[in-house]
Amino acid sequence: MTGQENTANRELPYRAIRNVDLTVPFLDMNFKNPVMPASGCFSFGREMAALYDLNRLGAIVVKATTLDERQGNKTPRLAETAAGMLNSIGLQNPGVERVMSEELPYLTQFNQLPVIVNVAGTAIEDYVMVVQRLSDMDSITAIELNISCPNVKCGGIQFGTDPAMAQSMIRAIKEVARMPVIVKLSPNVTDIVQMAVACEEAGADALSLINTLIGMQIDVEHKRPLLANGVGGLSGPAVKPVAVRMVYEVTSAVSIPVIGMGGIMTGVDAIEFLMAGASAVQVGTANFVDPYACIRIIDELGAWCDAHGVRAVTELIGAAKA
């Protein structure tokens, strides 16, 4: 069954905005709108495809993919906070071979949907082997290098906090990648602009930021950290001001496009990131609260533009810097 057939009789919280051009140029392509789900918050799209046509999205970023299957961290590994959530999933995924044989072919039915695959690992060689395998698939639009995950004990964030290590990683990936390479940056650094510039100099085609902030919640009844891993990644509205500031700073320092994320719950939230300089946005935690979040945010973005006389969403990009 195709995505179109699967959603034909469903009432969708979506209204086409005829007077606004929502398309955005990204690298050497055009996305129909600037909104996409963030990796890890949308799995590989199957569950959401039962609710709406994934072709409505600007793009999809699938769950992190590693060389071998990962079971992830022990439970509990999710906790709600006052203004978001903590997660310590630990990059659970079936491994690159099954992702290629079982998950990515499913998405080909959505022929208007750019597919971005998030890649993670514990060593540069792991990343390179995964990207080499994925480069055999013509259906992949871009790779997003996850060098910023705070929930694994080796790999991930160690590459995202050291400019020299990040550059070594990116150069090795660029040697084998047949598609554009987006680098996902960590906010858990002293100077994110320094990291961004280092990534651009090493050949990154685009950046996405921010990943989660490191946080902890205490189980006061048992007098211990609530998450089995101790710490987790904080996401949701609590991190949005930090994320907007970092996007603003990074887009002022690099010439490659930036995807902004961090606490986007509404269309107006997305507009803040665009005005701060982002070319597109990713929606993460909101998907757990509202499975229609991405579609609703697209609708709200278009409606805001229509109400404010904005005829093309590209007019918003960097508008706060004018």
Which of the residues 41, 149, 199, 305 is marked catalytic? 149
User: Does the annotation list 210 as a binding residue?
Assistant: yes
User: Does the annotation list 90 as a binding residue?
Assistant: yes
User: Does the annotation list 211 as a binding residue?
Assistant: yes
User: Does the annotation list 186 as a binding residue?
Assistant: no
User: Does the annotation list 279 as a binding residue?
Assistant: no
In angstroms, the CA 75 to CA 92 distance is: 12
Is 149 an active-site residue?
Answer: yes
| Torsion sign (Cα): 251, 252, 253, 257 | positive
Q: Strand locations in the chain, DSSP E? A: 24-26, 29-31, 35-37, 60-65, 78-81, 84-87, 115-119, 142-146, 181-184, 206-209, 213-215, 218-219, 224-225, 232-235, 258-260, 280-283
User: Does the annotation list 263 as a binding residue?
Assistant: yes
**CB-count exposure of residue 221 (10 Å: 0-12, 13-18, 19+):** exposed
User: Does the annotation list 33 as a binding residue?
Assistant: no
User: Does the annotation list 184 as a binding residue?
Assistant: yes
User: Does the annotation list 91 as a binding residue?
Assistant: yes
In angstroms, the CA 251 to CA 31 distance is: 19
User: Does the annotation list 146 as a binding residue?
Assistant: yes
Would you list which residues are annotated within the binding site for substrate?
63, 87-91, 146, 211-212
Would you list which residues are annotated within the binding site for FMN?
39, 63-64, 118, 146, 184, 210, 236, 262-263, 284-285
Which residues does the annotation mark as catalytic?
A: 149
Would you list which residues are annotated within the binding site?
39, 63-64, 87-91, 118, 146, 184, 210-212, 236, 262-263, 284-285
